[in-house]
Amino acid sequence: MSSPSRIGNLLLLGQGSDLASERGVSCTGELPKASDPDLVARARAARDILGSEAMILGHHYQRDEVIQFADLRGDSFKLAQAAAERSDSKYIFFCGVHFMAESADILTSPSQRVILPDLAAGCSMADMASANQVSDAWKVMQELGIASKTIPVTYMNSTAAIKSFTGENGGTICTSSNAERAMRWAFEKGEKVFFLPDQHLGRNTAVLKLGLKLEDCVLWNPWKPRGGLSDQEIKSARVILWRGHCSVHGRFSVANVTEVRDRIPGVKVLVHPECQHEVVKGADVVGSTEMIIKTVKEAPSGSSWAVGTELNLVKRLAAENPDKQVYFLDKTVCYCSTMNRIDLPHLVWALESVVAGKVVNEIKVDERVAHHARVALERMLALP
């Protein structure tokens, strides 16, 4: 275990890659040892050989040891845009999670190869909506005669199959940076929105951005017959929210907000919209990872921020803004364990494999699924 570090006055356990060996090897070759002192040099050398043929995309939740190699850092919207625009990059190393790499594959040309350095880098929220469950829910809406006036709006954090369902049924994808625009677009096209899979982003957008009432939203529980709702509840809802959530952001509570405000006079609370409704309501600022970074960067020197999002990003914010006090909103630390799967040994392995002429851990979405998923993603990219 690496040595502890601090953010503001919070003691944190280190995120050293010496844990990598314990996480196991989800790759089909010889994974370099995390203790190899030459890992950084090896990554640089392989990156240099690949030159402009390669692009390394890094989500803001990635570890420092990985993000230092990113040609572009971003939130999920910015990374999807980059993948769609960079037709000259033959190899896209996606340092993020599986749904992001799938979206990159869908948005790139067939000759471009998208590589996820560790295939175990999934997203628990995306796994909360399966294609069968969503199709069952849609059948109920069709039977009740409301499907034709219901527009699906699907969060980027979803499998390609759910994106495909969305495109096929006239809907759009959104990210945390454009959920409001996506929902307004959907209400121009229909009377109801079917928002999946993140109930919190859906509720926060509907109520806090569009001014709908909490009672306008119902929660579809995929584990209960007919979503656990009465026909009347489904028919009268304006927004049907899928019962999914992020296990990282779901941890932040109103008690955390109260506690930090009591402890640090003048602190501003800044959270991601995947947090629970009451937490977002109690915060000073809410926004995507990109927006969180911008807010702290542009804040006055000496200001204090309690940030409710993934810990790698909060630690980096603290390091990159030494003139401000940056705290993690919760006292118990929490990384996104799947984002953390991508470490330097996996990145080196993926880069060196390509240098040796072998594309590993390629993410390839079946064209039957990709076709409609692309329609939904392109609708998002074209949102005003």
Give the range of 10-18, 135-143, 211-219, 333-341 binding ligand SF4 by CB under 6 A: 333-341
Among ligand SF4, ligand 13P, none, the one that 349 touches (CB under a kind-dependent 5 to 8 A) is none
Of positions 248, 329, 347, 376, contacts ligand SF4 by CB under 6 A: 248
From the list ligand SF4, ligand 13P, none, pick the one residue 175 interacts with, judged by a Cβ distance below 5 to 8 Å according to partner type. Answer: ligand 13P
Binders of ligand SF4 among residues 92 to 121 (CB under 6 A) are 97
| Helix, strand, or coil (residue 29) | coil
Q: How far is the CB of 103 from ligand SF4 (least distance, A)?
A: 13
Exactly one of 65, 180, 310, 343 binds ligand SF4 (CB under 6 A); that residue is: 310
How buried is 51 (Cβ within 10 angstroms: 0-12 exposed, 13-18 middle, 19+ buried)?
A: exposed
Q: Characterize 154-186 residue by residue with b for buried, 16 or more Cβ atoms within 10 angstroms of its Cβ, and e for exposed.
A: bbbbbbbbbbbbbbebbbbbbbbbbbbbbbebb
Least separation in angstroms between residue 157's CB and ligand 13P is 5
- Considering only the stretches 139-147, 187-195, 240-248, 322-330, report the one whose residues sit in contact with ligand SF4 under the rule CB under 6 A: 240-248
Binding flag, residue 247, ligand SF4 (CB under 6 A): yes
Q: How many whole angstroms separate alpha carbon 307 and alpha carbon 294?
A: 13
Q: Taking a C-beta distance cutoff of 8 angstroms, is the pair 107, 80 a contact?
A: yes
Alpha-carbon span 292 to 307, nearest angstrom:
8
DSSP, collapsed to helix, strand or coil, labels residue 342 as: coil
Are 95 and 115 in contact by the 8 Å Cβ rule? The answer is no
Quote the crossing angle between the two packed helices 131-143 and 160-168, to the nearest 10°: 20
The residue count for binding ligand SF4 (CB under 6 A) is 13
CB-CB contact of 115 with 359 (8 Å):
yes
The option from ligand SF4, ligand 13P, none interacting with 75 (CB < 5 to 8 A, set by class) reads: ligand 13P
76 binds, among ligand SF4, ligand 13P, none (CB under 5 to 8 A by kind): ligand 13P
Tokens of 67: 């993000």
Q: Which does 361 bind (CB under 5 to 8 A by kind): ligand 13P, ligand SF4, none?
A: none
Provide the 8-state DSSP code for 244. B
Query: Which one, 157 or 172, has the nearer CB to ligand SF4?
Result: 157
Query: What is the nearest approach in angstroms of ligand SF4 to the Cβ of residue 273?
Result: 11
Note whether 246 binds ligand SF4 by CB under 6 A.
yes
CB 174 within 8 A of CB 217: no
Q: Does 5 participate in binding ligand SF4 (rule CB under 6 A)?
A: no
Stretch that binds ligand SF4, among 44-52, 123-131, 184-192, 293-301 (CB under 6 A): 123-131
Q: What residues make contact with ligand 13P under the rule CB under 6 A?
A: 75-77, 157, 175-176, 246, 272, 274, 288-289
- For 373, the token pair is 């998923």
**How far from 124 is each of 1, 19, 181, 197, 286, CA to CA, in Å?**
25, 21, 25, 11, 22
Q: What is the widest separation between alpha-carbon atoms in the chain?
A: 63
Do 150 and 190 form a contact (C-beta atoms < 8 A)? yes
Task: Look up residue 187 and give its two tokens.
Answer: 């209400």
In the list ligand 13P, ligand SF4, none, the entry touching 247 (Cβ below 5 to 8 angstroms by class) is ligand SF4
Q: How far is the CB of 100 from ligand 13P (least distance, A)?
A: 8
Of the pair 227, 244, the CB lying nearest ligand SF4 is at 244
Cβ proximity of 275 and 249 under 8 Å? yes
Partner from ligand SF4, ligand 13P, none binding residue 176, C-beta < 5-8 Å depending on class: ligand 13P
Residue with tokens 């069968």: 132
Residue whose CB is less far from ligand SF4, 59 or 372: 59
For residue 316, give Cα distances in angstroms to 6, 102, 159, 351.
11, 26, 29, 24
Contacting residue, 116, 123, 161, 369, with ligand SF4 by CB under 6 A = 123
313 binds ligand SF4 (CB under 6 A): no
User: HSE (CB half, 13 Å, CA atoms) of 344?
Assistant: 23
Residue closer to ligand SF4 (CB basis): 303 or 337: 337
SS3 136: helix
Report the nearest approach of ligand SF4 to the CB of residue 214 (Å).
23
Residues 174 and 76: their CA atoms lie apart, in Å, by 10
Interface with ligand SF4 includes 158 (CB under 6 A)?
Answer: no
Q: Note the residues at the interface with ligand SF4 (CB under 6 A).
A: 97, 123-125, 157, 246-248, 274, 310, 336, 338-339
